[in-house]
Amino acid sequence: MASARPLADRLRPKTLAEVTGQEHLTGPDGTLTRMIASGSLGSMIFWGPPGTGKTTAARLLSGEAGLAFEQISAIFSGVADLKKVFDSARTRRMSGRQTLLFVDEIHRFNRAQQDSFLPVMEDGTVILVGATTENPSFELNAALLSRARVLTFKPLDEASLEELLKRAEAAESRALPLDEEARASLVRMADGDGRAVLTLAEELWRAARKDEVFDAAALQDIVQRRAPVYDKSQDGHYNLISALHKSVRGSDPDAALYYLCRMLDAGEDPLYIGRRLVRMAVEDIGLADPQALVVCNAAKDAYDYLGSPEGELALAQACVYIAAAPKSNAVYTAYKAAMRAAKEHGSLLPPKHILNAPTKLMKGEGYGEGYRYDHDEPDAFSGQDYFPEKMGRKTFYDPPERGFERDIRKRLEWWAKLRRERNS
């Protein structure tokens, strides 16, 4: 029945040194290798995408350290299962043997369940190794993280995935039925997932007739292309929108368009992307190109009107426009500075000369006295001070010499000159 086991299971490494793609952890100078050599293991959180060797590394770690291995999944386990494992570990400890408890999908446990690990970690009943595909900073509580070291498992690069394919061919005593281009395409489809690349290879061997060799197009038809790794509510979502935003800010329309398409291809809500493009227009372009906000709002409305796939082109157009636009965060910076000043200075009364005086009492108090109507002044500019008297004049907005803000800067400098002249 050995052949009935999935290829990925049959090819599991036998030693930590055989774990490919994680040399920073399992190589000669890797973190886990050094822990084994020192004879001292602490609790750890293995963080990384699927198929990068987290479960395998935990199992091999226990074997090489001479620890009993217990494995549970947070998806299928509850408080009763945890209690049973802890009791077994205590019994084992009394006989002089420690237990490595591997918890798959540890982020699925709620806060109270996560807290239940703390006593058995502290008294040495178990060495906890938790595996998660989600960012531990967001999904695990602080008390648990303070007692465990987070080790990051990286997506497998092309060389590591190719190494796995070679191991598979050696184990099966036959080559993959792919031409060179299709083989490269298969590696890309795996998306850094070692288990996926072996599963895809197994599908190809099942599908191939004698002496048949598939090209890239036939490969896609057979495996029906593995969906991109992307969770619209978790790290994949935030990583790609961050990459899109920074590509726009960095004035790289090609990279911005690539990440836009990555998100659309993975099933992201296009209206969410549209809203984010509007945000980029006001944060990173601002008044350097006032049309950026107009273009992004129009693209969002166009998608809302047309739907997919026609409306997605409007988002692409807006994305390219703002990536290629002159950049300025002067208004964004000014807004934050003005908000800080508003909070710091409290409820200061504006100067009385700019307050309306609809009643005799208010006129008697000096409201509106001395106000100069700008349209009646030379150059339609009075140069009066509009800040509260106790605050003094402040400068928040400092436009750069870029785009349309170059003209705004000249205008502001001219008004500043007139203000000095008329108030001297």
Q: What would the pLDDT profile of 250-270 be if each residue is shown by its tens digit?
A: 999 999 999 999 999 888 889
Q: Is the pLDDT of residue 126 over 60?
A: yes
- Whole-model pTM above 0.85? no
Q: What is the mean pLDDT of residues 338-348?
A: 87
pLDDT-derived band of residue 239, with 50, 70 and 90 as boundaries?
confident
pLDDT at 416: 92
By mean pLDDT, which of 57-71, 223-237, 396-410 is the weakest?
Answer: 223-237
| pLDDT for the residue numbered 237 | 73
pLDDT (mean) for 91-104: 92
Question: Do the strands 44-47 and 68-73 form a parallel or antiparallel pair, or are they unpaired?
Answer: unpaired
Measured between alpha carbons, how far is 35 from 64 in angstroms, rounded to an integer?
Answer: 11
pLDDT band at 30 (very low <50, low <70, confident <90, very high): very high
Residue 418 pLDDT? 92
From the candidate CATH numbers 3.40.50.720, 3.40.50.300, 3.30.70.20, 3.90.1010.10, the one assigned to the domain spanning 2-152: 3.40.50.300
CA gap 209, 311 in Å, rounded:
43
Query: Is pLDDT above 80 for 206?
Result: yes
Residue 422: what pLDDT?
85
DSSP 41: -
Domains 158-223 and 330-422 fall in the same CATH topology:
no
| Per-residue pLDDT band at 78 (split at 50, 70, 90) | confident
Nearest Cα neighbor of 393 from 350, 346, 356 is 350
84-93, 187-196, 397-406, 409-418 — which is least confidently predicted? Answer: 187-196
Judge whether 46 and 77 are in contact, CB under 8 Å: no
In this prediction, residue 230 carries a pLDDT of 58
- Secondary-structure class of domain 330-422 per CATH: mainly alpha
Work out the end-to-end distance of the chain between its first and last CA atoms, rounded to an integer number of angstroms: 96
Query: How is domain 158-223 classified at the CATH fold level?
Result: Helicase, Ruva Protein; domain 3 (1.10.8)
Looking at the chain, the whole-number percentage of residues with pLDDT higher than 90 is 66
pLDDT at 232: 54
Burial of 395 per CB tally in 10 Å (0-12, 13-18, 19+):
exposed
Residue 52 main-chain phi, psi, to 5 deg: -110, 5
Rg of the chain on CA atoms, in Å:
32
Interval 153-163 mean pLDDT: 93
Is residue 301 over pLDDT 50? yes
> Mean pLDDT across the stretch 132-159?
91
**What pLDDT was estimated at residue 267?**
80
pLDDT > 70 in the chain, percent: 96
Q: What is the pLDDT of residue 407?
A: 94
Element (H, E) at 47: strand 44-47
Lowest mean pLDDT among 27-31, 220-224, 339-343: 220-224
**At residue 165, does pLDDT exceed 60?**
yes
Look over the chain and give the mean of its residue pLDDT values, rounded to a whole number: 90
- Say whether pLDDT at 1 is over 80: no
Domain ranges of the chain: 2-152, 158-223, 237-324, 330-422
Residue 353 confidence (pLDDT) above 70: yes
**214: confidence class by pLDDT, cuts 50, 70, 90:** very high
Mean pLDDT, residues 149-158: 93
pLDDT, mean of residues 349-376: 89
CA distance 382 to 241: 46
Give me the CATH code for the 237-324 domain, please.
Answer: 1.20.272.10
Average of per-residue pLDDT across 327-351 = 91
